[in-house]
Structure 1
Amino acid sequence: MQITPMTEHTGAQVHDLDLSQPATDDIRRVLNDAFLAHHVLAIRGQTLTPPQVLQAVSLFGEVFHQHNTRFALPDCPQIHYLSNQDSFPDGRRYIPGEGWHTDHSNDIRPPKATVLHAVKLPSRGGDTQFANMAAAYDALPDETKERLAPLMAIHVYQSSHSARKLMTLSEANKERVPNAVLHPLVRTHPENGRKSIYVNPIRIEGIVGLDHKEALPLLSELIEHATQERFQYRHAWQPGDLVIWDNRCLLHKANGDYDMNEVRYLYRVMLQGDVPQ
């Protein structure tokens, strides 16, 4: 197994590993150490059935049950799919993952990681961009860090301020998804102790104690700062990629810059996380 960093701060690719076969404890340890060090792992050249995907992701943690069961695989509901072939009720194309965000931050215990396995890809385009929120936090002025330290954000399923609209939840899903949760604007990684900016423009409805006239510009400034190219890793997908990333210290977004007549279809699994602190 070979692990090669992609940038100085984020991303590494893994070669010469077959996740369809059981992994040793040594492989588990090396992969988890690499995950903590690089935040995104792209494990190349995998051809996995849904049960094999579950076996592979178990190397990193326990499965988190995703909020919108509309996209669950009927024969393996712990796995969902991402596809550019779905549409909103009004007929508009649904492009999953558009816009900078972190997954399911409206949960009391948001998933620590998301895993995607490429089943079918367009011939070009469709990259996923990642922004390292720990590196972005480190680059903030001290006075900004002090301002952010006590602030708590209100996370909901769909922020009324978000330009990106999500698929509506069914009544059954609404019953099991929190109406709103509070998370700090700066969270500490439970495994490495690093602080990160924790924002999500798709989910954050407001900041406790701040008027929207103050909260929304602050959030916009943080997003603009954190998504500078110097904090980014851009993943160009290859057939068979299995990519896992750390939601506790990254934002990500998918790019819909490809021919929509071509199919983009991936399996998605999330892993259980902790209450952000």
Structure 2
Amino acid sequence: MSSAAAAISSATSSARVHIRPTGAALGADVLGLDLSRPLEADTLQALQAAWDQHLVLRFRGQQQLTVDDHIRFSRHFGVLDQRPLAAKGLHAQTAALPQEITVISNLRQDGQALGGLGDGEAVWHADMTYQTIPPKAALLLAREVPAAGGNTYFANLYLAYDSLPADLRQQIQSLECVHDASRNSAGELRLGFADTTDPRQTVGAIHPLVRVHPGTGRKSLYLGRRRNAYIQGLTLEDSEALLDTLWAHAVQPQLTWGQQWQEGDLVAWDNRVTLHRRDAFDPQARRYMHRTQVSERTA
């Protein structure tokens, strides 16, 4: 598919569907689709092709989506992960949602949290790379958004790899990195993990610094999270210096794109070849989102 807007015919709608690239390093808008309606196989194939090319797809104006609609659409792209059992203190309203839905919110009701991640800044990361098989994608639907702040930014790890100096690309080809499992993207220590400041003691999955995407066959950087990451086989000093270099390169503005949320936005990203982060926002503002997560597993 070219970088120009591509028309896709849909038998479920009288309108034509268009893919409109953002013009930045990644991201595209999908125009003209009502995701609450059934989609034909050729439309879904075209969406997957656009997703493979642009890494992040944005579907605006999806306020009408029910929880079941969100789940059904997400399932077109693979098996959905279930959220962990509700943490102590999470409101019963959230616990009653289908297990495929995770709530991302700063809101509280009856003194209990409705969701996770609150209102602080979430640093650059990919989701759950501390697992041996991290999720391949996520689809986040904005139910309520603040008037300002809370924007989400994405980085293109294909371009990050391609634009590295040749000698650095060669240096990292066979290196592997330990991804820290002890803290989440908001920097909060997970229950049951020790707090360590020595990356050589990091507990988590080990992944190559250079990963081949199973769908496209392209190479990309694979970074996960910066804190407590450690490159095996290097001294701590060399590991820190190399990771600092790779991270500084990967999140340069020319390799990123920013999503300014509107109510009804559904944003889908390929977790294998992107990083993302979120701006902080007024803690008194309301932000409430539903998220599905597509597994890399096939069953």
Give the whole-Å Cα distance in 2 for the aligned partners of 1:106 and 1:252. Answer: 16
Structure 1 length normalisation: TM-score?
0.86
Task: Identify the residue that residue 65 of structure 2 maps to in structure 1.
Answer: 48
Equivalent residues of 1:158, 1:203 under 8 A apart: no
2:103 to 52, 70, 81: 81
Residue type at the aligned position of 1:80: T
Counterpart pick for 1:38 among 16, 33, 54: 54
> Are 2:40 and 1:21 equivalent residues in the alignment?
no
Q: Which has the higher contact order (CA 8 A, sep 6+)?
A: 1
Bigger radius of gyration? 2
Q: Deviations over 1:219-258 (max 9, x none)?
A: 11111111011101111111101110011111000111x3
Distance 2:236 2:83 in 1: 29
Corresponding residue of 1:62: 79
Letter in 2 for 1:81: V
- Larger deviation, residues 96-105 vs 123-132: 96-105
Q: Which ranges in structure 1 are unaligned for 5 or more consecutive residues?
A: 172-178
Does the 8 Å CA contact 2:226/2:247 hold for their aligned counterparts? no
Aligned residues: CA RMSD: 2.7
Q: Is the 8 A contact 2:125 2:185 kept in 1?
A: no
Matches within 5 A, 1:4-19: 4-19=20-35
Aligned length: 262
Match of 1:166 among 173, 188, 193: 188
Q: Is the 8 A contact 2:182 2:189 kept in 1?
A: no
The one-letter code sitting in structure 2 at the alignment partner of 1:184 is: P
CA contact (8 A) 2:180 2:204 kept: yes
- In the other structure, the counterpart of 1:211 is 235
Whole-Å separation in 1 of the counterparts to 2:45 and 2:252: 32
Q: 1:204: how far off? A: 5.1
User: In the aligned structure 2, how far is the partner of 1:163 from the partner of 1:107?
Assistant: 14
CA distance in 1, matches of 2:253, 2:236: 28
| Residue 192 (structure 1) aligned with residue 208 (structure 2) | no
Structure 2 residue ranges without an equivalent (≥5): 1-16, 194-202
Alpha-carbon distance in 2 for matches of 1:261, 1:108:
37
Question: Could you tell me the percent identity over the aligned residues?
Answer: 34
